[in-house]
Structure 1
Amino acid sequence: MTSSDSGSIDQLVQGAVDTHMHTAPGAFPRHDTDFSAARTAKEHGMRAIVTKNHHFETASRAQNVRDEVGFTVLGGITLNEWVGGLNHHAVDGVANFDADIVWMPSITAANHLENAAVQMFETEEQEKAGISVLDEDGELTIETLAVLDSIAEHGLVVGLSHLSPEEAIALVDEATSRGVEEFLVQHPHAEFLDYSHDQMRTITDLGATLEFHYICTSEMMGNAATVDDFVAAVDAVGPENAVMATDGGATANPPAMEQFESFIGDMLDAGVPEADVETMVKDNPKRIFDLD
């Protein structure tokens, strides 16, 4: 049965995981600190949240919150220029803080700097080539391969972040052969990514999971997607190959928890069965991050 009444939403939030949100402190205004985001999620009965920062690692911060709040917050590192870009030493270092995920470059990715229409980050105001995982011949760089080996060694999840679909597909294809097991494709509907359904099927066939972000329905992201777009993508790859997350935190949008509840309600209203939503907000995230 499909229903978006508050009881159904509350039931689906219980035990769910928001695999992508941004918290303070950070370089950009955020609704929640690490601690307030964790407390809110805990009050709603969620299983975990995953926090990301464009500039520095969040794994040590997550560790502090787990100890203080008694709630599972997961973190990692984004390989932007501030941590040395595609730097395997940064991956090895953050593993010492029980990191869970390594995101490829985001706002300093070459694809982002070339294709993102919204100029909202200080890096985009500078003349920079940006970071690519591919060399001039279209092959993965030596630095990228070293990063993948470190990720495999430490058993971390890979977030494809703002890499182009072509870069992401090449990276997942190689990384699986090097022992990396889990991948998340962040906001494939973002205008600077804009995965086709064929590309979505290609990368999920290689072993990645699509991470749909509710933020893509907002003006902040140029209204890049509608709920119908998410439904069509689920139909294209199957709910077993997708997760629903918010990419929440920015003060220009509602708080992440409000977005998470809205996302669930909107998907139910669009006719997605409750069992499929549960797969995307509970089962798949727990599998990816090895949560019971």
Structure 2
Amino acid sequence: MSFSFSRADTDLLQGVIDMHLHTMPCLFDRPLDDLEAAEQARAAGYRGLVLKSIYVPNADRVELVRRVVPGIELFGSIVLNHSVGGLNPEAVRTAIGFGARVMWLPTVHAQHHFDHFGMPTYPWLGQRAGALPQVPVAGIRLVDESGGLKPEVTEILALAKAADLVTGTGHVALDEVYAVAREARRIGYERLVQTHVGWHATDWPIEDLKALADLGLRFEFCINPTMPNRQQQSPRKLTDTIKALGVERCFVATDLGQHDNAHPIEGMRMWLRILALHGFSAGEIDHLARRHPATLLGLDPAPVALALAAQ
């Protein structure tokens, strides 16, 4: 697939990093695979992508994609759902060994996700392998009955700090986010991110978001919730929340890769245009889409900004 954007939109996309993109292979059908995502993003001028697989660590396959699609920074990740053993420090160690740069706490297997949506089903897997019986699994909680973090979560956060992983809060409940944030603050871990602020299952009150900011959290804002067939979240609410929390603590991504949503590159283009229309300066957009993601991923944020300034 090729895109034909105006010169202004082409310039706008140069050097961006999308830290939340869903691709094939996956148990859910996706509109593009790892290779297609990397090739198309490189052609559009992106600096980098974080590829997300809900069910398996993917840093090993991302390493192969790097060799096929040079010229773009590609990062693998791990999501702590039941398919990797849930809150499994050994899975985290393995992902780190393969070069993963981002970890998400439980998403579709979090108890909070079950409370909102029920247990996920896998229509594409059924298509491929025939109808498989749905086996119920327990929702994952990060805290015990007293509200304290489970020991394995403490260990996982220590691993993330030691390896400079970025950790997204996934789909866990607000009390769990607070518990993780307090532990991250205690150990001096500064790469903890609230996943897709404003998404309907993680649409925390602004007072709580500000309290989490005081504990050191960063905040990811995705275009996905605003899509017409999804939550239809107000872009104005998201941009107002960025301003309330402070641009310096926030970054933007897409969380796209679904057949009923915009293509991820078009979604990013829309997001950057929305930011500009809602009063964000070129420097603020540079921070949200380029500098902050680069810093989180351990990249030098300066070269891209300098190159853009020279245009």
Per the normalisation by structure 1, the TM-score is 0.92
- Structure 1 unaligned regions, length at least 5: none
- Alignment partner of 1:283 is 2:284: no
Amino acid at match of 1:69: V
Which structure would you say has the larger RCO, counting Cα contacts within 8 Å and 6 or more residues apart?
1
Number of corresponding residues: 285
- Alignment partner of 1:173 is 2:182: yes
- Once residues 262 and 291 of structure 2 are traced to their aligned partners in structure 1, the CA distance between those partners, rounded to angstroms, is 25
- In the other structure, the counterpart of 1:262 is 270
1:6-25 aligned within 5 A:
6-25=6-25
- Once residues 220 and 60 of structure 1 are traced to their aligned partners in structure 2, the CA distance between those partners, rounded to angstroms, is 33
- In the other structure, the counterpart of 1:114 is 115
Deviation of 1:180 after TM superposition, in Å, equals 2.5
- Structure 2 unaligned regions, length at least 5: 124-133, 301-311
- Once residues 12 and 201 of structure 1 are traced to their aligned partners in structure 2, the CA distance between those partners, rounded to angstroms, is 30
Deviating 4+ runs (over 3 angstroms): 5-9, 119-123, 125-129
- What is the aligned-residue identity percentage? 28
- In the other structure, the counterpart of 1:84 is 85
- In the other structure, the counterpart of 2:98 is 97
- Once residues 172 and 78 of structure 1 are traced to their aligned partners in structure 2, the CA distance between those partners, rounded to angstroms, is 18
- In the other structure, the counterpart of 1:68 is 68
From 201, 213, 221, the counterpart of 1:212: 221
1:221-236 aligned within 5 A:
221-223=230-232, 225-236=233-244
Q: Is the 8 A contact 2:21 2:254 kept in 1?
A: yes
Q: Is the 8 A contact 1:157 1:180 kept in 2?
A: no
Deviation of 1:176 after TM superposition, in Å, equals 3.1
Amino acid at match of 1:165: L
Amino acid at match of 2:74: V
- In the other structure, the counterpart of 1:245 is 253
Q: Is the 8 A contact 1:17 1:281 kept in 2?
A: yes
Larger Rg: 2
- Once residues 171 and 254 of structure 2 are traced to their aligned partners in structure 1, the CA distance between those partners, rounded to angstroms, is 16
Amino acid at match of 1:173: R
Deviation of 1:25 after TM superposition, in Å, equals 0.6
Q: Is the 8 A contact 1:132 1:163 kept in 2?
A: yes
- Once residues 28 and 146 of structure 2 are traced to their aligned partners in structure 1, the CA distance between those partners, rounded to angstroms, is 36
Question: Which deviations, in whole Å up to 9, do the C-alpha atoms of 1:194-232 show, x marking residues without a partner?
Answer: 111112212222222111110101244322x21101111
- Alignment partner of 1:47 is 2:44: no
Deviation of 1:7 after TM superposition, in Å, equals 4.1
- Once residues 185 and 109 of structure 1 are traced to their aligned partners in structure 2, the CA distance between those partners, rounded to angstroms, is 15
- Once residues 146 and 227 of structure 1 are traced to their aligned partners in structure 2, the CA distance between those partners, rounded to angstroms, is 37
Q: Is the 8 A contact 2:108 2:120 kept in 1?
A: no
Root-mean-square deviation over aligned CA pairs:
1.9
- Alignment partner of 1:273 is 2:273: no
Deviation of 1:94 after TM superposition, in Å, equals 0.9
Q: Report the 3-state secondary structure (helix = DSSP H, G, I; strand = E; otherwise coil) of the residue aligned with 2:83.
A: helix
- In the other structure, the counterpart of 2:140 is 131
Q: Is the 8 A contact 1:190 1:221 kept in 2?
A: no
- Once residues 267 and 222 of structure 1 are traced to their aligned partners in structure 2, the CA distance between those partners, rounded to angstroms, is 19
Structure 1 residues 279 and 7: alpha-carbon distance in aligned structure 2, compared to 1, 3 A threshold: farther
